[in-house]
Amino acid sequence: QSALTQPPSVSGSPGQSVTISCIGSSSDVGNYNRVSWYQQPPGTAPKLMIYDVSYRPSGVPDRFSGSKSGNTASLTISGLQAEDEADYYCSSYTSSSTMMFGGGTKLTVL
Amino acid sequence: QVQLQESGPGLVKPSGTLSLTCAVSGDSIRSSHWWGWIRQPPGKGLEWVGYIHYSGSTYYNPSLMSRVTMSIDTSKNQFSLRVTSVSALDTAVYYCARNYGGNSYFDFWGQGTLVTVSS
């Protein structure tokens, strides 16, 4: 199974909004609302930020939002802050009953 | 609060077997959730290895399926990973994590443990 496709990097200035895309197929992202997003600062374990496409776990700021259209899921971070700088990964359930991650996107806050 | 802790050798010889255990606290491993392994080679992205339910059901990454086995020890509230015939390509930080309800998201993660394959 191939990884979900994410842009290698995105950047934005404090206060701006950025969107990270996650492109899958009809066998994963497009057919299931089981898309999640993870934040991983350097040297730390991933942290769940969004689940089931658009739901935020308790404690995650509402600056983080998720959506999906067709085979593409998106994570939007509004009101960018320096502490948001990290790697971000999407994940999806697949029709083979497996899980899959995206290649990861490095977010730089300018 | 659910906590997971990986343990096992940090160095494995090529062609050998990698064995890791994940101890779970704050939740019963006999719950409705699934228990998974994710790995991350140095400087690279996350790769799903597989997950297991306490019933014994398992799902593995197709690219690793021939070399991976997962098991559960309900008496110790822990689960394990074995990867056989390892090579340098298996060098990675290995994370264990809880998959909420199965086919879903990973909500609690261990801190990760680095396993290096080298002679």
Cβ of residue B45 closer than 8 Å to a chain A Cβ: yes
Q: Is B103 left (phi over 0), alpha (psi -120 to 50) or beta?
A: left
Pairs of CB atoms within 8 A across A/B: 67
pLDDT score, position A3: 85
What is the mean pLDDT of each successive set of 10 residues along chain A, which is 110 residues long?
91 97 96 97 97 97 97 98 97 94 97
3-state secondary structure of A101: strand
pLDDT tens per residue, range B25-72: 999 999 989 999 999 999 999 999 999 999 999 999 999 999 999 999
Tell me if B38 and A101 make a contact (CB, 8 A cut-off): yes
pLDDT score, position A1: 67
Residue B54 phi, psi (nearest 5): -65, -20
pLDDT tens per residue, range B68-108: 999 999 999 999 999 999 999 999 999 999 999 888 899 99
Cβ of residue A97 closer than 8 Å to a chain B Cβ: yes
**Separation between Cα atoms, residue A54 and residue A104, nearest integer Å:** 18
| Amino acid code (one letter) for B21 | T
pLDDT score, position B39: 98
Q: Hey, what are A64's tokens?
A: 């983080």
pLDDT score, position A19: 98
